[in-house]
Structure 1
Amino acid sequence: MFVSCGVGAQELDTRIGKISMEGELPAHDSVAKLYAELDFQQATQSYLWALPLVSYAQWQAEFRDKLGAHSGDLMVLNSYEDKLGVITANATTPYILGFVDLNETGPLVIELPSGPTAGGIGDFWQRAIIDMGQTGPDKGKGGKYLVLPPGAEPPADAGKYYLAKSETMNVLVGFRVLDPDPAKGKALVEQFKMYPYAQRAEPTKTKLLTPGGKAWSGTQPRGLTYWQRLHQIIQKEPVNERDRFYMAMLASLGIEKDKPFNPNDNQRKALEQGAQVGELIAKANTFAKRFPDAQYWPDRQWDTVLNIAEPSQRVAYYDQLWERSAWFYEAVTNTKGMVSKTPGLGQTYLGAYTDAKGEWLDGGKNYRLHVGANPPAKQFWSMTVYDIDSRCLIDNPQRKADLSSRQDLKKNADGSVDLYFGPTAPKGFENNWVQTLPGKHWFSYFRLYAPTEAYFDKSWKLDDITNVE
């Protein structure tokens, strides 16, 4: 004879509050709470995972919908206003950028002219496929590149090209002109060609566009719009093997390939809350990095901002999810030249998010940065100020966001330079000043173009940003 024994009810204290238990099992009225937490966690992690993809998808959509650029067109971003929509743009050199949907073009030919350029081709997870220009295989001499869609076999004449195999159907093609002469830079850009391989016998002329004063923003959208943009782009892309578990999480949230996006109330709540908390985590992960060795000098506040070891985002036993999330929250694109380890080539990026005392940089306060003599840059250096909320160039009444060695800065007798940041210009140093905005925080990048040995061996050191009030 079997006699049933009741199992006592109890409550368990957890991070998400009290959970009613029936012995070892959650009570039936607690199951919904646990699933809601699961959905929230899935949404939060999916937000962080999707940052690079949503970033490019947003940028592509803004170029198309706001600026009229279609697949294969090139956008020339020259002025301060042109670049206001680019996440952490450099304010010194022109950008020439275009998005291409290989679903439409098939294999793509790019003819890069000879000259001082730096750039590359990247897939929509912002993995560099190949560098172009000075850090690419053409080494600044120009040449023909052939971009192949996922699964495409190289053509018989592939040997005529520098081959680039993409893992996504959408790609970004972009480069910067490094010649300080605007006329020479313009002439170089006009020689650039991009066309479908199938039209190589009679290629059409590449269309060059400019924003023409129109406002646009490449910053990832917030709330449910973030997920709508993600849903749109995954319809056009193959699923990489490494992403299949994330696709499973998205499916439980109503985001699936080949299906419409119509989240129910519970899914919508999880997605909205996940995007909110996901972005807060992204800010912590970006502006207060905890990666080993992110701090470039142990006694300074400057961080190495790009902590992705290889443009593939892959190291021995894992892919760099958190380093990727940090970089692509605060920036866009990644090429081998951007993580240069060779003196005299590429660029390096140092970020300051706090002052010398570790306090966030406040737009209502005045600061000074002392740049010692002989900064280790073969080409030039620049210091650029960005808005925390958009991660774009600071949009100030001064209409200026950077200070660089290409400008007429007031120097000290020993060759060093003092740079100033604050709401009002310091008397006598107006040319050395960037205006910040009270009520808003800011951060900055210090870039070295063609960094020299003194950067790599750390014999030259940059001072911290100090509050001068």
Structure 2
Amino acid sequence: MGSATSEAKINNPSASGISASDARAIAKEAYIYGFPMVVNYRTMYKQAIDKKSPDYRGDFNTVNSSKSVATPEDKFVVTPNSDTPYSYVWMDLRAEPVVITMPKMEPNRYYTAQLVDLYTYNFAYLGTRAFGNDGGIFVIAGPDWNGPTPAGVKVVIRTETQFAYGLFRTQLFNPADLANVNKIQAGYQAEPLGSFLHKPSPPRAVGVDWPTPSDDMSTSSSMFPLVNFLFQFCPPNTSEKDLLARFAKLNIGPGQTFEFSKFSPEIQQAINDGIKDSDADLAVVMKKINTDEISSGDLFGTRDFLKDNYLYRYVGAKLGLYGNSKQDALYFGYFVDAGHQPLNASKSSYELHFGKDQLPPNNAFWSLTMYDGKSQLLVANPLNRYLLNSTNLSSYEYGSDGSLTLYVSHNKPAAVKESNWLPAPDGPFYCVFRVYLPGEAVLNGSWKKPQLQPV
């Protein structure tokens, strides 16, 4: 009988003395921490596990490519870019490393492979900025591998999780350039290390009983069992020892079993309230984004760069999962107008004005992309125009002083303005201004984005 009582105390936190206020605080913290892992898993499930999903891209350790840029039909991730056709590889690194081949590229075309772990940290990059356009062969190794660097390999890159994502972006100059991009994409290759070395591979890692994502998985306590599940592929980081000890008080973390129904009604309410409390933290960061106090460059990067700022990692995953680290791209969000009013094209039209020589300095290109405020996806329109970008600078109309004004509205503007028009939905929207390989003035903040002026 004594052992049963002890077991009850371990498995029922309401009996182990946790207060409702502690449960609420821990639930908020664990929700902010776990949200990126959960939405990342949802993408992995759709792209590499569920063969019936419209977003299925192929099995683990194989590169698959979208043959065109993203359109409103693409729903695999919120706030996708439509400048660079994507290629994808989900890597299972449990049995052995994966070898990625990057093809050689002409010097003026930007291409990149962003490497993302299960926490959504950008742990490394391949491509233009990181290694130049000469291509090469790279070994991506999980936390348990300690072999030598094989001959012909540029570098071995390690990740702290046993699964990782490679997200490739290849610059498209114009619609006629698509065949060239598709040819480049065919040169992205991934294979297990044994295959690359022409040696027998180690035994395959055991199969995984992958949980099916639920609709409320990222918005309720149903996320916590999934976070616990994912920890088996994420060896605990020593920097998080105290944090995980706190989470364990709510049965969240490595080796834990979270069963919401086993908590007392009071603790259940506290957990739900804690998750809702994350909205206030999100609002604080959004205010700083809207006043340009922080940028996307603060939200995405390596674990070392983010320095355990789980709130920023959460906001990054919520606004634009798989955003680039700032050295590869900076994203300037337009969520409010110059008067700090929410953007709504059913109530107003807008103008974005760049004085002569005031476009952002960059070593690749820039773009302004439109998103529906409700779905966070690209906006269907009669022109099939989802963005305006610098590869089309010669097609725009300019002011007599050399300035450039871009027009954002639901209704079609006068014919003279149509080349500079970005169509908006008939309601709430937001825009993202991306600068790829940003110049120093963009990186150090001395270049300021112009405000979106209501007309």
Q: Same fold (TM over 0.5)?
A: yes
Provide the residue aligned with 1:448 in structure 2.
435
User: What's the C-alpha RMSD, in Å, of the aligned pairs?
Assistant: 3.5
State the shift of 1:186 in Å: 0.8
* TM-score normalised by L of structure 1: 0.76
Cα distance in structure 2, aligned partners of 1:60 and 1:309 = 19
Q: Which amino acid aligns with 1:409?
A: Y
Q: TM-score, normalised by structure 2?
A: 0.78
Q: Does 1:283 align with 2:270?
A: no
Q: Is the 8 A contact 2:61 2:98 kept in 1?
A: no
Among candidates 77, 89, 100, match of residue 98 of structure 1: 89
Matches within 5 A, 1:250-399: 250-258=247-255, 260-264=257-261, 265-266=263-264, 268-278=268-278, 280-289=279-288, 295=292, 304-308=295-299, 311-314=302-305, 318-333=307-322, 338-340=325-327, 346-364=328-346, 365-374=348-357, 375=359, 376-394=361-379, 399=384
Instruction: Verify the 8 A CA contact 2:129 2:437 in the aligned structure 1.
Output: no
3-state DSSP class of the match of 1:44?
A: helix
1:254 & 1:217 partners in 2: Cα distance?
20
Q: Which runs of 5+ in 1 are unaligned?
A: 1-30, 205-215, 297-302, 341-345
Residue 368 and residue 194 in structure 1: after superposition, are their counterparts in 2 closer, same or farther (change >3 A)?
Answer: same
**Residue pairs, 1:6-405, within 5 angstroms:** 35-63=19-47, 64-65=49-50, 66=53, 67-68=55-56, 69-77=58-66, 78-81=69-72, 83-103=74-94, 105-115=95-105, 116=109, 117-136=111-130, 138-155=131-148, 157=150, 160-180=153-173, 181-202=177-198, 221-258=218-255, 260-264=257-261, 265-266=263-264, 268-278=268-278, 280-289=279-288, 295=292, 304-308=295-299, 311-314=302-305, 318-333=307-322, 338-340=325-327, 346-364=328-346, 365-374=348-357, 375=359, 376-394=361-379, 399-405=384-390
Identity of aligned residues (%): 22
Rounded Cα–Cα distance in structure 1 between residues aligned with 2:402 and 2:444: 21
| Structure 1 range deviating more: 146-155 or 326-335 | 326-335
Q: How far is the alpha carbon of 1:40 from its aligned partner?
A: 1.7
SS in 2 for 1:289: helix
CA distance in 1, matches of 2:20, 2:311: 24
Q: Which residue of 2 aligns with 1:463?
A: 450
CA deviations on 1:170-207 (whole Å, 9 max, x unpaired) are 10112211252212111111011101112214599xxx
1:419 aligns with 2:410: no
Shift in alpha-carbon separation, 1:310–1:84, aligned structure 2, 3 A? closer
1:286–1:330: 8 Å Cα contact kept in structure 2? no
Bigger CA radius of gyration: 1
CA–CA separation in structure 2 for the residues paired with 1:220 and 1:382: 33
Unaligned runs of 5+ in 2: 1-14, 201-212
Deviates more, 1:413-422 or 1:182-191: 413-422
Structure 2 CA distance for partners of 1:308 and 1:457, relative to 1, 3 Å: closer
Residues 310 and 418 of structure 1: CA distance in aligned 2, closer, same or farther (over 3 Å): same
What letter corresponds to residue 164 of structure 1 in structure 2? I
What is residue 430 of structure 1 aligned with on the other side?
418
